[in-house]
Structures are given as structure tokens and as C-alpha cells.
């Protein structure tokens, strides 16, 4: 018994590490030749962190999340999730994924969309109901249970898709520009809610965004990437407190971090030119 | 109201054009025979009289619309439905084998599609055969099927239904392959992240996504089934059914009967297609479809 526990811990470099990437690289073979989407990515994401990925379009942010989610296979290097391979982690249902689009099933009501992953993992009906209600409450969608996706605005649909990922209740949440298509006000509101949720649940969140303020506002760490091939050019630790009211975005500390991110992005660009 | 008028006016206009053209054509087609008759009888009718006669021959080359309409009306509404002269009776005979064949065909089409979508080997091997099967002219195959089945003692409804099946499984198979493959990549990825099993992905994603495709292909299939049933009645020497009616009409030059049977066939086809459409609408509505 003790042996197996030791072995299990031995394979893991860091007990706290949720995602560990070592010299990770991915090359897509396309008709116009190989495309290097990721190259030499070294990154450790610890439990309870909120990590944002920011970088110009095509720098491999989505690809990295998809590698974690076992939706793409790396061609170089290693990656482990909770000490397991991405495939094992997926089979253990270790993460929830929020896609850039809401990706709701049009033939399901909001509540049954949120309940979809719960049906799949085979939860008892009563617990399904309870989780659906709780997560819809969390994203302010109570009262819309019986509506179909087309009856909701884009922002509401995106919130429903977040509720769906939350209902799944994995400790790791992968979010690919979940608020990209939303207006500023709704986005602010969802940012606040997401932050509150993260504080309450101590989940680990990987969050892709194009917005510097969003990245700085949400994250404990910001990973700046640059394209062709997709690399990590800078990792910025946030010095902001865990408790963050929206107006923290006017504080000098916030602006200083934002400036660093912007410099990092610019450096990545000038490397190209 | 305006929308109704916008829809009805064009339809009525086209219909009027067709009817007028039909009358002109009927006069043209029947005139030689009428002239012959008149010459033998030594009559010299005025133009109006002559036209009137061409439109009221008992066995015209081309019956006039009102002759067909009258025959259709009498044989549909004025006869007992059990009478061998009733078009309702003949339609019912054809309809029953249509429906049986359509049910088989739809089931077979769905089965084939599920196989093609899930088994790579079937995708490669089956599709060419299915397409080849439809290039064989049904008029050539139908008598063979009927004769072969009759030889082993199967007659009546089943052989006709099998021809309907033969014609109707194809659109359903093709439509369902497309439908079962229609889910977004993102939806498939989503199911993958949940580690959903193949059967869960099938029932929760592929099947619901394929429903619109199913009904679209069923509309085509049901019309093809009816054609199959009618074609199936031709070589059997069947005594009942729209096909039998057409055949009998052609033996005895009962052109008006033939046309009336043709109209009955079209009416049945239209009703079937509309019915499938309505069921499709209801199902899609119950699946949260956006009202158009
Ligand atoms: N399936 C694929 N096949 C081939 N190339 C791909 C594939 N997916 C992504 N790529 C390429 O990999 C690179 C990285 O793509 P990725 O989607 O990860 O970028 P991104 O950082 O998410 O961009 P964006 O901010 O626009 O979403 C791009 O050059 C893209 O063209
Ligand atoms: Mg992306």
C-alpha cells in the first residue's frame, strides 16, 4: 500500500502541480506543409492558480488548451495533468472546457444543456437537478431553465455554457476566450462573477484572452505568448490581492502589471518584424 | 391576408395557364379522330360545335380537364369505397403497400447509415453498392422481384412493398449519413472532453442532430415508395391499386380512367409528402426548433 502511494508521488515532480509542460511542442501537418503551433513550452500551473494566456492571434493559445484537454496530441516534449497523461486525465474527467463559442445543443433547453455532462457521468436525477439549479443561479440564469438557446442573447448563452462547465465540477477549468464575443458591461460582470467563483471554489483556471485588462484583472499569473512558432515569451506574477473589486483596474499597481504585459506582447511582435 | 394572396395568386395563375394549355392541346390531339368521325357521318359542324365534340369523346386520345375531373369526382366520392371502381379503394391498396415499403425502407436506410457512420469498413465497401443499386432501372428489376418471389410463394402486398423499400431506403440512407455526420466539430469535442462513450455521443448528439435530415430525406423517400408501389402493380397483373388501374385503362383505351388514376396517384403522393412534412415540423418544434 505504502509502496504504491510512494510510486504515485514519485512520478510527480510537484505535488501541487496541476499542469506540467516540459519542452512541449506541436507541429500540425497541413497540406501547405508543417505548421509549428507550439514550441518549447515549459510551464507549471499549480493548484488554485488563475492563469491567463495572452498573445496575438495564431500564437497557439487554443492549441495549448486543447493539448491539456487531450483534443490535440503534442509532437514533442511532455505534458502531465495531475500527474497523469492528458488522456488519463480526460478519462478521469479532470477538467471542464469552455469553448470560444457557447456550443449549446439547440434541441436542449438551458437546464438540459447544463445537465448534459451530468447525464453522461450518470449522476442521480436529484443531484443533477440540484447542480443545475446551483450553477444556473451562479451565472444569474435562474428563470431561464426551460428556454431554448435561440431564445437567449449571446451573453446569456455563453453564461449557460459556463454553467455547464461548472456543473461538471472538475477542479481544473479550461476557458478559451469565453467572453470574447461579449460587450464590455456584460464582460465586466462575468469577470467579477468568475473571480468570485474561483475564490469560493479554489479551482485551477486556465483562461485564454485577447484583453490585457481582463488578463490582469483575473489572473494570479499571466503567460504572454508570441506566434510562429507559438512560444511562451514572458510569465508575469500578479501582485494584486485575491479580493479584487472592479475599480482595482484604476490602481497604479494594476496599471503597472498591464504595462508589463503590453511590453511583453510588443517584444513578442518585434521579434517577428 | 396579403401573405395568403401573395401565395395563392401565383399558384392560381399558373394553374389557369396549365388548364388553358391543356384544353388547347386536347382539341389539337382529338381533332383528327373527330374529323374522321364527322366525315364518315357526313356532318359539317361549325367550329364551336367541332371543338365541343373534341372535348367530349368517350375515349379521347387526350381527355379534357373537365372529363378527368368529373371521372375523378365520381369515382372518388360517389362510389362505395369497397367498389372495384372506387379510386379510394385503389388508392388504399397502393397506399398500404407504399406505407409498408416506406417503413421498411426508412428502417433499412437508417440502419445502413448507422453502419456507415460507425464502421469504417462499411463506409468504404457499402456506399458504392448502394449507389450502384440505384442506377439499375427499377422497371427492369420490379418484374424480376415479383416473379422470383411469386415462385417461392410470396405474392400480394409484400413484393410490391419490397419494390417501395428498394426505392425508398436510398434517400434515407444518404440523408442519414449526412445527418449523423452533421454535428459541429465543437460539439463532438465537447462530448470528448466529457469522455462520453460512442453510444452516448450517438444518442445525445448524432441522433438529434440528424432529425432534420431524416425528415427531409423521408419526404423524398415516401414519394419514391409510392412510385415503387405503382410500378410493382404493373407486372403482377394486379387487379387492384392505382398501377392496376393505369394498366387496365391502357388495355381498354380508357384514357379518362387512366388520367383520373394518375390524378389519384398525385393526390396520394402530395398527401404523403405533406403529412411527412407536418410530422417533421411537429417533431422539430418539440425539439425546441425556432418557429420559422
Ligand atoms: N487543426 C489544425 N490544423 C492545422 N493548423 C492548425 C490547426 N489548429 C491550429 N492550427 C494553426 O496553429 C496555430 C495556432 O493556432 P491557435 O488556434 O492555437 O491560435 P490562437 O492563439 O488560439 O489564436 P486566436 O487568438 O486567433 O484564437 C495557427 O497558426 C493555426 O493556423
Ligand atoms: Mg484561439
Q: What is the pLDDT of residues B109-146, one digit of tens each?
A: 999 999 999 888 888 888 888 888 888 888 888 888 88
Cβ–Cβ below 8 Å for A103 and B194: no
Cβ–Cβ below 8 Å for B200 and A120: yes
pLDDT band at B238 (very low <50, low <70, confident <90, very high): low
Cα A131 from Cα A166, distance rounded (Å)? 9
- The pocket of ion ligand 2, defined by CB under 5 A, consists of A 62
Q: Is B134 domain-assigned?
A: yes
Are residue B99 and residue B22 in the same domain, yes or no? no
B254 touches B266 (CB < 8 A): no
B204 touches A120 (CB < 8 A): yes
pLDDT of residue B213: 95
A47 touches A103 (CB < 8 A): no
Are residue B37 and residue B131 in the same domain, yes or no? no
How far from the centroid of its chain's Cα atoms is residue A186's Cα? Answer: 19
Q: Which residue has the higher pLDDT, A260 or B3?
A: A260
Task: Inform me whether the C-beta atom of residue A109 falls under 8 Å from chain B C-beta atoms.
Answer: yes
Cα A99 from Cα A161, distance rounded (Å)? 8
Q: Above pLDDT 70, what percent of chain B?
A: 98
Average pLDDT, chain A: 86
Q: At what angle do helices B138-151 and B157-180 cross, to 10 degrees?
A: 130
Cα B201 from Cα B183, distance rounded (Å)? 10
* pLDDT of A169 strictly over 90: no
Task: Inform me whether the C-beta atom of residue B199 falls under 8 Å from chain A C-beta atoms.
Answer: no
Cα B64 from Cα B19, distance rounded (Å)? 9
Q: Above pLDDT 90, what percent of chain A?
A: 41
pLDDT band at A161 (very low <50, low <70, confident <90, very high): very high
Label the pairing between strands A204-209 and A172-176. parallel
| Max mean pLDDT range (A189-193, A257-261, B55-59, B273-277) | B273-277
Q: For A113-147, what is each residue's pLDDT tens digit?
A: 999 999 999 999 999 999 999 989 888 889 999 99
Task: Inform me whether the C-beta atom of residue A84 falls under 8 Å from chain B C-beta atoms.
Answer: no
Cβ–Cβ below 8 Å for B194 and A116: yes
* pLDDT of A110 strictly over 90: yes
Helix (H/G/I), strand (E/B), else coil: A119: helix
pLDDT of residue A6: 44
pLDDT of residue A170: 87
Q: What is the CATH number of domain A2-94+172-272?
A: 3.40.50.300
* pLDDT of A225 strictly over 70: yes
Task: Inform me whether the C-beta atom of residue A70 falls under 8 Å from chain B C-beta atoms.
Answer: yes
* pLDDT of A7 strictly over 60: no
Quote the cell numbers at residue B214: 431524416
Q: For B6-63, what is each residue's pLDDT tens digit?
A: 888 888 999 999 999 999 999 999 999 988 888 898 888 888 888 898 888 888 889 9
Cα A219 from Cα A215, distance rounded (Å)? 6
Mutate to test the pocket of ligand 1, among A32, A62, A206 (most ligand atoms within 8 A of CB): A62
Comparing alpha-carbon positions, the chain A residue that sits nearest to B183 is: A105
Question: CA triplet A86, A90, A91: central angle to 5 degrees?
Answer: 120
Task: Look up the ipTM and state it.
Answer: 0.87
User: In sequence order, which residues have a C-beta less than 8 Å from that of residue A208 and are 6 or more positions away?
Assistant: A52, A53, A54, A61, A62, A65, A175, A176, A177
Cβ–Cβ below 8 Å for B195 and A91: yes
H-run or E-run covering A217: helix A212-218
Comparing alpha-carbon positions, the chain B residue that sits nearest to A120 is: B196
Ligand 1 atom at shortest distance from the alpha carbon of A100: 27
Nearest ligand atom owner, CA of A176: 2
pLDDT of residue A220: 92
Are residue B145 and residue B235 in the same domain, yes or no? yes
Chain A residues 152-171 within an 8 A CB cutoff of chain B = 168
pLDDT of residue A14: 56
Q: For A206-220, what is each residue's pLDDT tens digit?
A: 999 989 999 999 999
Report the predicted TM-score, pTM, of the whole model to 2 decimal places.
Answer: 0.84
| Max mean pLDDT range (A182-196, B8-22, B80-94) | B8-22
Comparing alpha-carbon positions, the chain A residue that sits nearest to B288 is: A107
Task: Inform me whether the C-beta atom of residue B286 falls under 8 Å from chain A C-beta atoms.
Answer: no
Cα A174 from Cα A99, distance rounded (Å)? 8
Q: A270 CA distance to ligand 2 centroid (A)?
A: 21
Are residue B154 and residue B27 in the same domain, yes or no? no
Question: How many domains does one find in chain B?
Answer: 2
Q: For A15-50, what is each residue's pLDDT tens digit?
A: 688 888 898 899 899 888 888 889 888 999 999 999
Cis before residue A155, ω within 30 degrees of 0? no
Task: Inform me whether the C-beta atom of residue B262 falls under 8 Å from chain A C-beta atoms.
Answer: no
Cα B156 from Cα B177, distance rounded (Å)? 33
Q: How far is CA B193 from CA A174, A178, B77, B104, B184, in A?
A: 11, 16, 61, 37, 14
Helix (H/G/I), strand (E/B), else coil: A160: helix
Task: Inform me whether the C-beta atom of residue B79 falls under 8 Å from chain A C-beta atoms.
Answer: no
Q: Is B76 domain-assigned?
A: no
Rounded mean pLDDT, A241-260: 87
Comparing alpha-carbon positions, the chain A residue that sits nearest to B208 is: A107
How far from the centroid of its chain's Cα atoms is residue A139's Cα? Answer: 17
Cα B112 from Cα B178, distance rounded (Å)? 12
Cα A240 from Cα A224, distance rounded (Å)? 18
Cβ–Cβ below 8 Å for B194 and A168: yes
Task: Inform me whether the C-beta atom of residue B200 falls under 8 Å from chain A C-beta atoms.
Answer: yes
Q: A44 CA distance to ligand 2 centroid (A)?
A: 21
For residue B274, what are the domain limits? Answer: 87-286
Rounded mean pLDDT, A173-193: 86
Q: Nearest to residue A118, comparing CAs of B249, B220, B285, B204?
A: B204
* pLDDT of A101 strictly over 80: yes
How far from the centroid of its chain's Cα atoms is residue B38's Cα? Answer: 41
Chain A residues whose CB is inside 8 A of the B290 CB are 148, 150
State the SS3 of chain B: CHHHHHHHHHHHHHHHHHHHHHHHHHHHHHHHHHHHHHHHHCCCCCHHHHHHHHCCCCCCCCCCHHHHHHHHHHHHHHCCCCCCCCHHHHHHHHHHHHHHHHHHHHHHHHHHHHHHHHCHHHHHHHHHHHHHHHHCCHHHHHHHHHHHHHHCCCCCHHHHHHHHHHHHHHHHHHHHHHHHCCCCHHHHHHHHHCCCCHHHHHHHHHHHHHHHHHHHHHHHHHHHHHHHHHHHHCCCCCCCCHHHHHHHHHHCCCHHHHHHHHHHHHHHHHHHHHHHHHHHHHHHHHCCCCCC
* pLDDT of A12 strictly over 50: no
**Residue whose CA is at the smallest distance from ligand 1 atom 22:** A62
- Sorted by where each begins, the domain ranges of chain A are 2-94+172-272, 105-169
pLDDT of residue A8: 43
pLDDT of residue B292: 66
pLDDT of residue B232: 86
Chain A residues whose CB is inside 8 A of the B200 CB are 120
Cβ–Cβ below 8 Å for B195 and A107: no
Q: Nearest to residue A240, comparing CAs of A253, A250, A256?
A: A253
Q: Nearest to residue A134, comparing CAs of A101, A103, A107, A169?
A: A169
Nearest ligand atom owner, CA of A54: 1
pLDDT band at A2 (very low <50, low <70, confident <90, very high): very low
Are residue B31 and residue B149 in the same domain, yes or no? no
* pLDDT of B156 strictly over 50: yes
State the burial class of residue A138 (Cβ atoms within 10 Å of its Cβ: 0-12, 13-18, 19+): buried
A99, A107, A120 member nearest B186 (Cβ): A99
Pocket of ligand 1 (CB under 6 A): A 28, 30, 35, 37, 57-63, 230
Task: Give the lowest-confidence range in A166-175, B142-151, B264-273.
Answer: B142-151
Amino acid at each position: 500500500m505504502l509502496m504504491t502511494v510512494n510510486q504515485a508521488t514519485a512520478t510527480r515532480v510537484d505535488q501541487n502541480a496541476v499542469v506540467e509542460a516540459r519542452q512541449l511542442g506541436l507541429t500540425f501537418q497541413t497540406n501547405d506543409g508543417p505548421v509549428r503551433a507550439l514550441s518549447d513550452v515549459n510551464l507549471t500551473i499549480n493548484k488554485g492558480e488563475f492563469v491567463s494566456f495572452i498573445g496575438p492571434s495564431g500564437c497557439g493559445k487554443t492549441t495549448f488548451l486543447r493539448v491539456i484537454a487531450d483534443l490535440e496530441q503534442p509532437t514533442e516534449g511532455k505534458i502531465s495533468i495531475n500527474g497523469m497523461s492528458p488522456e488519463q486525465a480526460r478519462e478521469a474527467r479532470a477538467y471542464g472546457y469552455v469553448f470560444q463559442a457557447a456550443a449549446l445543443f439547440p434541441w436542449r433547453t438551458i437546464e438540459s444543456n447544463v445537465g448534459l455532462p451530468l447525464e453522461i457521468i450518470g449522476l442521480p436525477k436529484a443531484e443533477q437537478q440540484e447542480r443545475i439549479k446551483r450553477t444556473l443561479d451562479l451565472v444569474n440564469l435562474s428563470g431561464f431553465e426551460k428556454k431554448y438557446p435561440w431564445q437567449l442573447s449571446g451573453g446569456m448563452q455563453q453564461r449557460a455554457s459556463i454553467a455547464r462547465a461548472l456543473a461538471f465540477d472538475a477542479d481544473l477549468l479550461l476557458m478559451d476566450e469565453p467572453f470574447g464575443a461579449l460587450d464590455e458591461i456584460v464582460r465586466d460582470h462575468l469577470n467579477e462573477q468568475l473571480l468570485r467563483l474561483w475564490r469560493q471554489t479554489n479551482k485551477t483556471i486556465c483562461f485564454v484572452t485577447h484583453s490585457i485588462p481582463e488578463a490582469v484583472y483575473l489572473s494570479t499569473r499571466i503567460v504572454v505568448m508570441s506566434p510562429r512558432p507559438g512560444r511562451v515569451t514572458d510569465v508575469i506574477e500578479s501582485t494584486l490581492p485575491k479580493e479584487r473589486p472592479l475599480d482595482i483596474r484604476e490602481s497604479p499597481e494594476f496599471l503597472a502589471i498591464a504595462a508589463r504585459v503590453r511590453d511583453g506582447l510588443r517584444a513578442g511582435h518585434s521579434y517577428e518584424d | 391576408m396579403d401573405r395568403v394572396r401573395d401565395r395563392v395568386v401565383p399558384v392560381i395563375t399558373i394553374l389557369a395557364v396549365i388548364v388553358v394549355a391543356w384544353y388547347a392541346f386536347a382539341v389539337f390531339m382529338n381533332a383528327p379522330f373527330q374529323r374522321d368521325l364527322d366525315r364518315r357521318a357526313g356532318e359539317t359542324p361549325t367550329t364551336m360545335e367541332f371543338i365541343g365534340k373534341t372535348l367530349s369523346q368517350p375515349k379521347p386520345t387526350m381527355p379534357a380537364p373537365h372529363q378527368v375531373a368529373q371521372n375523378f369526382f365520381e369515382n372518388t366520392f360517389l362510389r362505395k369505397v369497397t367498389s372495384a371502381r372506387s379510386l379510394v379503394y385503389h388508392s388504399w391498396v397502393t397506399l398500404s403497400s407504399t406505407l409498408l415499403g416506406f417503413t421498411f425502407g426508412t428502417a433499412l436506410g437508417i440502419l445502413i447509415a448507422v453502419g456507415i457512420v460507425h464502421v469504417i469498413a462499411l463506409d468504404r465497401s457499402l456506399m458504392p453498392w448502394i449507389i450502384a443499386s440505384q442506377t439499375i432501372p427499377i422497371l427492369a428489376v420490379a418484374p424480376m422481384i415479383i416473379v422470383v418471389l411469386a415462385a417461392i410463394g410470396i405474392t400480394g402486398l409484400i413484393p410490391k412493398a419490397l419494390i417501395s423499400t428498394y426505392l425508398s431506403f436510398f434517400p434515407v440512407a444518404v440523408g442519414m449519413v449526412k445527418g449523423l455526420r452533421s454535428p459541429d466539430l465543437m460539439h463532438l469535442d465537447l462530448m470528448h472532453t466529457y469522455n462520453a462513450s460512442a453510444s452516448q455521443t450517438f444518442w445525445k448528439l448524432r441522433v438529434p442532430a440528424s432529425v432534420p435530415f431524416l425528415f427531409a430525406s423521408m419526404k423524398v423517400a415516401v414519394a419514391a415508395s409510392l412510385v415503387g408501389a405503382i410500378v410493382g402493380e404493373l407486372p403482377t397483373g394486379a387487379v387492384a391499386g392505382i398501377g392496376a388501374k393505369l394498366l387496365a385503362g391502357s388495355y381498354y383505351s380508357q384514357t379518362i380512367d387512366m388520367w383520373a388514376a394518375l390524378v389519384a396517384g398525385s393526390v396520394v403522393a402530395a398527401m404523403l409528402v405533406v403529412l411527412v412534412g407536418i410530422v417533421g415540423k411537429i417533431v422539430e418544434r418539440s425539439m425546441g426548433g425556432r418557429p420559422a
